[in-house]
């Protein structure tokens, strides 16, 4: 499955957590702990969703020099986010 495939869009839309994380990361990078707090979700749930998004190439990590990495959206992630946002707006 490629990040631009309809299956990738379906995978992201199929999970409220994945969709919301992509939306949050579209505005700025965040750590898993920050995202878990923002979404009132357990860190393990958020971490699992971030791994799935990273495996699709929709997010990437940056080394912050600390134990926790910052996740940021990729250009492929923006494309999926835009596709989902347009479909939701209709």
pLDDT tens digits along 33-90: 999 999 999 999 999 999 999 999 999 998 767 778 999 999 999 999 998 887 665 5
Q: How many domains does the chain have?
A: 1
Checking if the pLDDT of 5 tops 80, the result is: no
CATH number where 72 lies: 1.10.10.10
Start-end of H helices in the chain: 6-13, 16-27, 32-39, 43-55, 75-89
4 pLDDT band, cuts 50/70/90, is low
Residue 58 belongs to some domain of the structure: yes
Q: In this predicted structure, what is the pLDDT of residue 24?
A: 96
Q: What is the pTM of this model?
A: 0.85
Q: Which tokens go with 6?
A: 């309809």
Q: In this predicted structure, what is the pLDDT of residue 9?
A: 86
Q: In this predicted structure, what is the pLDDT of residue 89?
A: 55
Residue 10 belongs to some domain of the structure: yes
Closest CA to 80 of 25, 30, 6: 6
Average pLDDT of the residues in 13-40: 95
For 76, the domain range is 6-89
Residue 1 belongs to some domain of the structure: no
């Amino acid at each position: 499955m490629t990040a631009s495939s309809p299956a990738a869009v379906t995978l992201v839309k199929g999970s409220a957590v994945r969709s919301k994380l992509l939306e949050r990361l579209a505005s700025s990078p965040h750590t898993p702990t920050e995202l878990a707090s923002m979404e009132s979700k357990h860190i393990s749930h958020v971490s699992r969703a971030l791994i799935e998004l990273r495996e699709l190439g929709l997010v990437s990590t940056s080394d912050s020099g600390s134990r926790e990495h910052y996740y940021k959206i990729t250009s492929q992630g923006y494309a999926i986010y835009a596709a989902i946002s347009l479909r939701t707006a209709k």
